[in-house]
Amino acid sequence: MKLLITGGAGFIGSAVIRHIINHTQDSVINLDKLTYAGNLESLTQVSNSSRYSFEQVDICNAVELKRVFLQHKPDAVMHLAAESHVDRSIDGPATFIETNIIGTYQLLEAAKDYWKSLDESRKAAFRFHHISTDEVYGDLEGPEDLFTETTAYAPSSPYSASKASSDHLVRAWKRTYGLPTLVTNCSNNYGPYHFPEKLIPLMILNALEGKPLPVYGKGNQIRDWLFVEDHARALYKVVTEGNVGETYNVGGHNEKQNIDVVHKICELLDELQPPKNLPIKSYKELITFVKDRPGHDIRYAIDASKIKRELGWLPEETFESGIRKTVKWYVANLQWAHRVQDGSYQRERLGVAQ
């Protein structure tokens, strides 16, 4: 297969590309605008493969999208390109509306026109896989409740509202035009190459520098944590084996309060990289509680029984094994993280482009 992957320089997208190049014989076209969250250094280990190619294209650019489809002739699309940081969406929602809604519309139109031009066998095999989030479902009330594929949408932030909108567009293009679509909604991802503004890498890097570890509210928000490499396996299984028109929830079966996640990170760092040069005995001393953000959902939890039952997928990592791998990776790859933090990964890229 030849897969067109949007947002392939992002955290989850790069994990999907690494999985495909390293574990299959398929080819990948990585289409990415390269915003602040796009980092081609996350793909260094596979970028020299003859089965990998890169297109720096904005998904809002209809002309360029048409060119990419006609030039590369993909067998499937995996749509991961999105603005995804909740805090940024609260401060500036316009970019989220533009990328997540308008961009998805433009991509659907380009994919639909291309799909209609295919011969019958390729047309029947084509897939448009839209990757979304469990945040579209809003907040869970009871401690035993779980998000299922039929849970009503109730997004809380501009980010989740824009992703909910894109989900609806994808399903509408299936029903109205017959475009063979699939949708997945995932829980919180973590793992190597995660952008340092997110909770887990932020805590690791702040701790190693002796900076405060800011925790919203009381830290009692509950998330279902999914190791990014497990998610990449799930996404590939859906695009290759999933049933057209279906939605699959992908979860890690690892519900944790944010404060417990931070405590675990501190414990691992105390073990792996003790704070010898800092005026503390444990990294836990750096934990600082800060004012909660507006509209903060308290609990997300995924019922991932459908993807297990229908496609045979289960996560391989427990939270304990996955978070240990993640902390060890950041300790061993501080140069990658620091280049993201100081912006040099972008400056060098722009210098080359000029």
Q: Is 159 a catalytic residue?
A: yes
Cβ atoms 7, 32 nearer than 8 A: yes
3-state secondary structure at position 21: helix
Residue 47 CB-half CA count within 13 A? 11
Alpha carbon dihedral 197, 200, 205, 211, in 10-degree steps, equals 90
Beta bridge partner(s), residue 188: 225
Rounded to whole angstroms, the Cα distance separating 63 from 79 reads: 18
User: In this structure, are residues 223 and 260 in contact, taking their beta carbons and an 8 Å threshold?
Assistant: no
Kindly name the residue from 32, 134, 224, 230 that is annotated as catalytic. 134
Sign of dihedral through CA atoms 165, 170, 175, 181?
Answer: negative
Picking from 225, 260, 81, 223, the residue whose alpha carbon sits closest to that of residue 162 is 81
Which listed residue (114, 159, 283, 345) is catalytic? 159
Q: Is 41 a catalytic residue?
A: no
Say which amino acid occupies 255.
Answer: E
Q: Which of the following is catalytic: 55, 83, 135, 230?
A: 135
User: Is 135 marked active-site?
Assistant: yes
Any idea which residues carry the catalytic annotation? 134-135, 159
